[in-house]
Amino acid sequence: EVQLVESGGGLVQPGGSLRLSCAVSGFGFSHNFMSWVRQAPGKGLEWVAKINPDGSGTYYVDSVKGRFTISRDNAKNSLSLQMDNLRAEDTALYYCATEIWFRFDFWGQGVLVTVSS
């Protein structure tokens, strides 16, 4: 059974930082792209970032470029998202998801990030 479990969310002030983690099991983690997708309260889905299997290639939505960094540890089947200089508009439920040819087959349960003073 494929499982993705996110952690690390919480309340942070504008300009602050958070690091999200996603533990993956039951899936060929090291052979696949991984992504973060977020959903602001009451809003739709927004793809945020993805990383290729060996970690050498990363891709971001324009609104987070230069502030967010996606990384992975294939030895630990773990995905991370370092979020710096957070803004109110980054408030959302963040999902990690497996990505195969631009589709997201498996999703975590999501972790909430709230940016507020």
Partner 1 sequence: QSALTQPPSASGSPGQSVTISCTGPSSDVDISDYVSWYQQYPGKAPKLIIYEVTKRPSGVPDRFSGSKSGNTASLTVSGLQADDEADYYCSSNTASGNVVFGGGTKLTVL
Least Cα distance to 112 among 2, 4, 3, 12 occurs for 12
Please count the residues of the chain: 117
- The CB-of-58 to partner 1 minimum distance in angstroms stands at 11
What does the per-residue mask of binding to partner 1 show for 2-41, with x meaning CB under 8 A? ---------------------------------x-x----
The CA distances from residue 45 to 17, 42, 95, 103, 104, in Å, are 22, 10, 10, 13, 12
Q: Angle at CA 49, nearest 5°, toward 12 and 83?
A: 20
What does the per-residue mask of binding to partner 1 show for 41-80, with x meaning CB under 8 A? ---xxxx--x--------x-xx------------------
Written as one letter, the residue type at 62 is: D
CB 71 within 8 A of CB 10: no
Nearer to partner 1, 16 or 21 (CB): 21
Q: Which residues are CB-contacts of 45 (< 8 A; sequence separation ≥ 6)?
A: 37, 38, 39
Binding of partner 1 by 110 (CB under 8 A): yes
- The CB-of-19 to partner 1 minimum distance in angstroms stands at 21
- The CB-of-88 to partner 1 minimum distance in angstroms stands at 20
User: Contact positions toward partner 1, by CB under 8 A?
Assistant: 35, 37, 44-47, 50, 59, 61-62, 95, 99, 101-105, 107-110
